[in-house]
């Protein structure tokens, strides 16, 4: 699937698509080949099995239910006046269901939100925020809606961008730290043009400038980050390295994701494009696109498997995608993004497998209500703690 089309689908998921996006998707999906690609994509990544055929009853059902999709009235108008959009509208309907549906593995039906109780609380979804630590130790809070500027960088509260490095040999290399708390995310563009998306509970150490022709090196102290590295061909052949715990990732110009949280004993590196070399004290392996390395930090063993890249990097694109993940793993992700603690009153629930997609803008009540089923009898929110029973 073309990256542009995938981005448009994600925009539908996050309710940020425009009329122009709809035009593009509707034209693309008219092709039988593209329609099949789209159907496979939905079934694989969102655990939704829906008939996208030309059945008249299905079309009528869509027409009625589209009224219920928040913010899609303009799309309903297009459905009534421009039949050519029927597949695109069906696509929007399916993705709309994704944002309010979470399927329990091996269950025949999902649990609608309106059939479960909503609990009032003060837990909010994460947002753009970070703490910038300058070379002199001064800490600056970066938050959405607030701007900040230094002599070589500027931030609008959602990202921080460092000025292009024009010095061949800066007199002194200064390092900054960018720390993302629980309930936060942030974007940074380094002085060499490398772009990095930082997930919740993450810290990155990096130089404010790089020496031309010398290895460009940053450290993922802990957490998760997605790297889009500026090619070495634009920097006199200088390679780019990412240090994280017990591994070093060396690249020439590529896109990859590293997950190395403090409370987890595994480091996952997922390659999206290009080629990277994973180095430990005892192992050196090369990753190809769609491969993921898994290093066990307790015994230094490494394994490499093929993965669904879209699922692994979904956090960067505005949603969380889970495929056969245990409830314990899922709640760990949710706890970081919503800045909450999670307790399992029934320990057996930790091993229950789920598959589905969560919009990062959804309220915690929506998510818990959707997940509520015969397996999870009830839940309780007490202050900033979620108790699953």
Calpha distance 99→48 (Å, rounded): 11
Q: What is the pTM of this model?
A: 0.70
Checking if the pLDDT of 140 tops 90, the result is yes
Residue 176 CB neighbours (<10 A): 21
Calpha distance 353→237 (Å, rounded): 46
Confidence (pLDDT) at 204: 98
- Residue ranges of domains in the chain: 3-99, 115-123+317-388, 127-307
Quick one: which H or E segment has residue 57?
helix 56-65
Q: What is the pLDDT of residues 326-353, one digit of tens each?
A: 999 999 999 999 999 999 998 888 998 8
Calpha distance 107→334 (Å, rounded): 22
Quick one: which H or E segment has residue 102?
strand 102-104
Confidence (pLDDT) at 168: 60
Q: What is the pLDDT of residues 355-386, one digit of tens each?
A: 778 889 888 888 888 777 656 778 889 889 99
Q: Is 310 helix (H, G, I), strand (E, B) or coil?
A: helix
Q: What is the pLDDT of residues 181-222, one digit of tens each?
A: 999 999 999 999 999 999 999 999 999 999 888 899 999 999
CATH number of 127-307: 2.60.120.1440
Calpha distance 244→222 (Å, rounded): 7
Partners of 241 in beta bridges: 217, 250
Residues sharing a CB contact under 8 Å with residue 385, sequence separation 6 or more, in sequence order: 340, 341, 342, 343
Segment 250-278 mean pLDDT = 93
Bridge-based pairing of strands 266-273 and 276-279 is: unpaired
Checking if the pLDDT of 180 tops 70, the result is yes
Sheet holding 102-104, edge to edge: 102-104, 353-359, 319-326
Quick one: which H or E segment has residue 324?
strand 319-326
CATH number of 115-123+317-388: 3.55.50.30
């Amino acid at each position: 699937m073309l990256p542009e089309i995938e981005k448009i689908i994600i925009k539908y998921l996050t309710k940020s698509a425009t009329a122009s996006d709809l035009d593009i998707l509707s034209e693309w999906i008219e092709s039988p080949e593209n329609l099949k690609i789209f159907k496979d994509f939905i079934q694989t990544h969102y655990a939704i099995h829906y008939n996208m055929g030309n059945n008249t009853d299905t079309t009528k059902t869509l027409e009625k239910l589209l009224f219920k999709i928040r913010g899609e009235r303009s799309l309903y108008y297009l459905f009534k006046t421009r039949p050519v959009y029927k597949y695109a509208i069906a696509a929007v309907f399916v993705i709309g269901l994704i944002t309010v549906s979470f399927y329990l593995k091996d269950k025949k039906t999902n649990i609608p939100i309106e059939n479960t109780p909503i609990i009032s609380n003060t837990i909010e979804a994460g947002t753009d925020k970070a703490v910038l630590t300058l070379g002199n130790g001064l800490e600056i809070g970066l938050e959405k809606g607030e701007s900040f500027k230094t002599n070589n960088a500027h931030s609008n509260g959602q990202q921080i961008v460092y000025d292009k490095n024009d010095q061949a040999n800066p007199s002194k290399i200064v390092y900054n730290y960018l720390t993302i708390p629980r309930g936060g995310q942030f974007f940074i563009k380094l002085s060499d043009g490398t772009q990095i998306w930082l997930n919740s509970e993450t810290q990155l150490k990096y130089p404010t400038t790089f020496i031309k022709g010398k290895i460009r090196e940053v450290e993922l102290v802990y957490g998760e980050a997605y790297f889009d590295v500026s090619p070495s061909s634009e920097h006199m052949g200088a390679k780019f390295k990412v240090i994280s715990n017990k591994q070093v990732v060396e690249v020439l110009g590529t896109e990859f994701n590293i997950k190395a949280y403090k409370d987890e004993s595994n480091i996952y590196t997922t390659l999206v494009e290009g080629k990277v070399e994973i180095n430990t004290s005892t192992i050196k392996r090369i990753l190809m696109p769609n491969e993921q390395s898994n290093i066990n930090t307790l015994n230094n063993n490494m394994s490499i498997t093929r993965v669904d890249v879209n699922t692994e990097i979904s956090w960067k694109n505005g949603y969380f995608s889970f495929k056969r993940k245990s409830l314990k793993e899922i709640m760990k992700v949710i706890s970081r993004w919503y800045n909450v603690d999670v307790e399992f009153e029934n320990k057996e629930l930790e091993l229950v497998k789920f598959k589905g997609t969560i919009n990062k803008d959804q309220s915690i009540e929506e998510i818990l209500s959707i997940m509520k089923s015969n397996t999870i009898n009830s839940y309780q929110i007490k202050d900033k703690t979620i108790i699953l029973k």
